[in-house]
Amino acid sequence: MSDSLRVAVIGAGTMGNGIAQTFAMHGHSVNLVDLNEEALERGMSTIRRSLERFVRKEKLSAEQSEEILGRIQPTTDLAGAVGEVRIAVEAVFEREDVKRGIFEQLDKHAPSGAILASNTSSIPITRLAAATGRPEKVIGMHFMNPVPIMKLVEVIRGNRTSDETLAETVRIAEGLGKTVGVARDYAGFVSNRVLMPMINEAAFCLYEGIATREDIDTIMKLGMNHPMGPLTLADFVGIDVVVEILDILYRDFGDPKFRACPLLRKMVEAGKLGRKTGEGFYAYD
């Protein structure tokens, strides 16, 4: 285990709670920040359920699970939460204006030497860094869902990120048991620039009647040895998230190859957002 750090994670949703859990599982003290108690309670109960899975699999003891929970401090006070941190990781939803507002706050309240990282899946880091007075300390730390299980952290170097910040971030990520892939700062980086067109094309295959949803998923899952077919994965990621990322790719590159499939947009309008709403390409209990 690496040295124990004081860390803040901003946003207790799917990614934020997974990131907080992962830091705590590696001995770090985490302040988990969200706007209200309900969001924090939802985040903490997801963490409890995930830790229970590790206990059931005998990968953690019940005592270790309690210790990990004890290292996570939920709070609605962002300024207080970041006052003494070495690194703050922002993981709120993909709206640039909201993220920029948070980076302004982080810059104001976090120690001057602290790293300010974003878990953004597609918004350029350089634009978030511009909202701060320390762009050399701002970096992308893109975790994958489910965060406690997935091995990758995609680290994104903004235009003004320093070598020291990059090296320290890689060290921190590796200390979490992750493997790092470094990408330059263009929309979607590598992961979503490659993944989202695949999901989009799978949606077009369904939209154009090329194959059933099951056949599309079977072909890609067994044919390419992927753990999930692309439509199942879209439900897992969230159809709204898929459309948001495609829209950012489309806007930033101005390239029609990133045009979101109309079926995906229709699903968002209908509230069929995937697992989180109980229905997407498939229905869930």
Contacts with ligand 3HC, residue ranges (CB under 6 A): 50, 53-54, 57, 121, 144-146, 148-150, 191-192, 195, 227-228, 233, 237, 241
143 CA to centre of own chain? 5
Beta-bridge mates of residue 181? 154
Say whether 142 is catalytic.
Answer: yes
Task: Tokens for 135, please give them.
Answer: 């762009």
Between 81 and 196, CB nearer to ligand 3HC: 196
| Nearest distance from C-beta of residue 161 to ligand 3HC, angstroms | 19
Closest CB to ligand 3HC: residue number: 121
Set 121, 122, 191, 200: catalytic member: 121
Beta-bridge mates of residue 88? 8, 116
| Nearest distance from C-beta of residue 285 to ligand 3HC, angstroms | 14
| Nearest distance from C-beta of residue 250 to ligand 3HC, angstroms | 16
The alpha carbon torsion through 201, 207, 211, 215 (nearest 10 deg) reads: 70
Set 142, 191, 200, 244: catalytic member: 142
| Nearest distance from C-beta of residue 84 to ligand 3HC, angstroms | 29
Q: Phi-psi category of 43—alpha, beta or left, where left has phi over 0 and alpha has psi -120 to 50?
A: alpha
Between 6 and 43, CB nearer to ligand 3HC: 43
Say whether 84 is catalytic.
Answer: no
Q: b or e along 249-284 (b: 16 or more beta carbons within 10 Å of the residue's beta carbon)?
A: bbeeeeeeebebbeebbebbeeebbbbbbebbbbee
| Nearest distance from C-beta of residue 98 to ligand 3HC, angstroms | 16
Set 26, 28, 109, 154: catalytic member: 154
Between 131 and 196, CB nearer to ligand 3HC: 196
Between 48 and 160, CB nearer to ligand 3HC: 48
- Residue 144's closest CA among 88, 98, 189? 189
Say whether 164 is catalytic.
Answer: no
Say whether 192 is catalytic.
Answer: yes
Set 17, 31, 50, 192: catalytic member: 192
Between 6 and 142, CB nearer to ligand 3HC: 142
Long-range contacts of 275-280 (CB under 8 A, 24+ apart): 275/235, 275/236, 275/238, 276/14, 276/238, 280/231, 280/234, 280/235, 280/239
Active site residues: 121, 142, 154, 192
